[in-house]
């Protein structure tokens, strides 16, 4: 067998990968239909992969446009490699057009390059290489592409309901050497009637993104001096300007994944602190006390468990025409249930805000000595020389849907990740190395005895 030239294989496919990144596959409620359950962008990105797979001679299994599966041939036993093609909102602060898929200085730049269109594409290239080589395996190796991971994962629950769970699965949507388990993930929805100091407030991008920006309007112009003094005294990156006789505050933070508060900074909680500190607004004070600290101390949920701390992120907050709406992302460890956490947050927050638990996925954990886990670890260590141990993540991936599933790469250093941030990018050299790792990993788990 000729030695595979991973660099040439990847570079020859770069144009098609750019086409994938250029599709703005953000959930779009306005275009949701029976044919497009997550909106037009998600449908387009799924169809893009579908058409390429058809062209390359694969069998494509359809799951009502929630997901598609790509395989060479069916076998009695199967392993799945699962990826999502949807992305979060682009947000602000980009130096490039977020969906231009620009290539500069050895990097592919665009929303979804790290999370996770590139790795979805790399696993597709790996399966195409396996097909071309006609490698004999004991198991079916199947690629599954969904398009609602960033919201509810309803896409993959639909797939599993129709296709059943595989013997094992991995998703290239985490960190190396692997995420062997994940905290529980929940979303609280906040609603209430608001009669406070703000005329309007718009904060955040998405529930699972630490808010990089937030704006609020305070009609009482006499508060300008106090607001400016409070902002300066606390060193916040917040501007205070006069617009049509009203004060407009604009807060700037640092976007990051909600599960990693140490990598970001919330523009929403800074803004709340300023407004509450100057005006004493009761409802916003309740929100500030509950969610101003990202590790749950404001709602009595700070934990020191082996699976990690509780984290909370007030990812979306809106006030408009006397109505308040918010979304809070929570990641919880073993030792507490979502029901207990919800009871505590309701107790801590003002009764004037209605709080509902609208999404919940319990913690999951795979055995360290599992044969599939061991095989993936062996591949990673052989290819990198890194003998780090698996970790438990605060992130949420398709692992929660499949159970016997781990997140396997692609990130080495989470603190350097640009997933969910402006100027998201990945180096082309990194892509080549990842292709080599995923090709070998897929071959090994499909032939494991």
For the chain (length 449 residues), average pLDDT per consecutive 10?
88 98 97 98 98 98 98 96 96 93 98 97 98 94 96 95 98 95 93 97 93 97 98 98 97 92 95 98 97 91 58 97 97 88 94 95 90 97 95 86 94 82 95 98 95
DSSP 8-state secondary structure symbol assigned to residue 262: G
Q: What is the pLDDT of residue 309?
A: 80
- Using a cut of 0.85, tell me whether the model's pTM lies above it: no
Domains and CATH numbers, the chain: 6-182+364-446 (3.40.630.10), 184-361 (3.30.70.360)
Q: What is the pLDDT of residue 419?
A: 87
Q: What is the pLDDT of residue 161?
A: 97
Q: What is the pLDDT of residue 303?
A: 53
Q: What is the pLDDT of residue 92?
A: 85
Q: What is the pLDDT of residue 300?
A: 84
Q: What is the pLDDT of residue 306?
A: 37
Q: What is the pLDDT of residue 2?
A: 62
Q: Is 109 exposed, middle or buried (0-12, 13-18, 19+ CB in 10 A)?
A: buried
Q: Could you give the CA distance from residue 328 to residue 57 in angstroms, rounded to a whole number?
A: 44
Q: Could you give the CA distance from residue 133 to residue 139 in angstroms, rounded to a whole number?
A: 16
Q: What is the pLDDT of residue 307?
A: 40
Q: Could you give the CA distance from residue 435 to residue 446 in angstroms, rounded to a whole number?
A: 16
């Amino acid at each position: 067998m000729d030695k595979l030239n991973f660099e040439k294989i990847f570079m020859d496919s770069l144009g098609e990968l750019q086409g994938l990144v250029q599709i703005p596959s953000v959930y779009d409620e306005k275009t949701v239909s029976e044919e497009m359950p997550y909106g037009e962008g998600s449908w387009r990105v799924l169809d893009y992969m579908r058409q390429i797979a058809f062209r390359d001679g694969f069998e494509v299994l359809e799951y009502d446009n929630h997901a598609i599966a790509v395989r060479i041939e069916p076998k009695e036993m199967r392993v799945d490699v699962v990826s999502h093609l949807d992305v979060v909102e682009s947000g602000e602060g980009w130096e490039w057009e977020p969906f231009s898929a620009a290539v500069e200085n050895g990097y592919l730049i665009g929303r979804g390059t790290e999370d996770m269109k590139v790795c979805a594409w790399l696993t597709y290239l790996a399966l195409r290489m396996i097909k071309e080589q006609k490698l004999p395996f004991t198991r079916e190796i199947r690629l599954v592409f969904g398009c609602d991971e960033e919201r509810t994962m309803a896409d993959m629950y639909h797939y599993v309901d129709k296709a059943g769970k595989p013997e094992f699965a991995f998703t290239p949507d985490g960190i190396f050497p692997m995420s062997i388990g994940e905290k529980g993930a929940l979303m609280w929805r906040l609603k209430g009637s608001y009669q406070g100091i703000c005329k309007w407030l718009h904060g955040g991008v998405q529930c699972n993104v630490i808010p990089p920006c937030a704006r609020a309007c305070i009609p009482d112009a006499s508060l300008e001096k106090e607001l400016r003094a409070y902002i300066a005294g606390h060193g916040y990156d917040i501007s205070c300007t006069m617009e049509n006789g009203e004060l407009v505050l604009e807060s700037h933070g640092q976007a990051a994944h909600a599960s990693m508060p140490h990598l970001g900074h919330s523009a929403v909680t800074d803004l709340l602190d300023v407004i509450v500190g100057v005006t004493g607004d009761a409802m916003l004070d309740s929100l500030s006390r509950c969610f101003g600290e990202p590790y749950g101390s404001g709602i009595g949920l700070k934990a020191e468990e082996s699976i990690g701390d509780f984290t909370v992120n007030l990812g979306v907050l809106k006030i408009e025409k006397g109505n308040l709406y918010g979304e809070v992302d929570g990641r919880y460890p073993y030792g507490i249930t979502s029901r207990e956490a919800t009871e505590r947050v309701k107790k801590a927050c003002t009764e004037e805000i209605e709080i509902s638990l609208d999404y919940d996925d319990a913690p999951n954990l795979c055995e360290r000595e599992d044969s599939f886990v061991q095989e993936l670890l062996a591949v990673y260590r052989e290819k990198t020389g890194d003998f780090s141990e698996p970790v438990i993540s605060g992130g949420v991936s398709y692992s929660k849907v499949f159970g016997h599933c781990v997140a396997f790469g692609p990130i080495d250093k989470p603190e350097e990740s640009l997933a969910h941030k402006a100027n998201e990018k990945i180096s082309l050299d990194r892509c080549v190395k990842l292709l080599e790792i995923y090709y070998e990993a897929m071959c090994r788990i499909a032939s494991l005895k």
